[in-house]
Amino acid sequence: MNKAFLSNIFTKKTSDYSFTIMFFLIFSLFIVLAIKPSLTTAATLKKEKSDLEKVDSVYENKIIGIANIQQAMEDNRNDFPLLIQAVTSYPKVNKMIVDIKSAADQNSFVIQKASVADVDLFDKNQQNIKQITVLIDGEASFDNIMKFTQTLYGQRRLKTISKMDIRRAKDSTDSAALKVSLSIEGYYL
């Protein structure tokens, strides 16, 4: 039985099958041990490449944005002194009041009362642009009020009128001056 068994095992057909089986086993081990890590590395590198392309795109957009800002700064370099005059580095309340008084004097606008409100010299919120508010009560004709606002807007210091209340005095005639209450805001950094 031993000799018959051995003669069946070592036939040409059996040796061919044995070789094929051994080849597939060694090939499978080769795939698992040698090719799979290479494929895993290739897949990881491909993912890293796509991630780096996304980061590169973000950085490229940021660089383009910086270049656009630099170009805008270069284009407007001569206008920076005007910008500094329009939005000062600190409140300069006295300069703003002088500007308002000058505009009032030019246009027959009689200031009866002026007060400064909302000046925050210590900004807790760290806002980029801060504002000061000047409250004005005055008297003028409608045309002079319009001229006053145009003169105010024509000055170098940026100002906005956030509130304007125009009313006629109770005991006045039709040609009398109007009562005006203004809230004028100036800006600083």
For the domain bounded by 87-188, which CATH number is listed? 3.30.70.60
Q: Are strands 130-140 and 178-188 parallel, antiparallel or unpaired?
A: antiparallel
Q: Which pTM was predicted?
A: 0.56
For the stretch 68-115, pLDDT in tens is: 999 998 988 888 887 777 887 777 888 888 999 999 999 989 999 998
For the stretch 28-59, pLDDT in tens is: 888 778 877 888 888 999 999 999 999 999 99
pLDDT band at 180; cut points 50, 70, 90: very high
**What burial letters (b/e) apply to 127-154, b meaning 16+ CB within 10 Å?**
eeebbbebebebbbeeebbebbbebbee
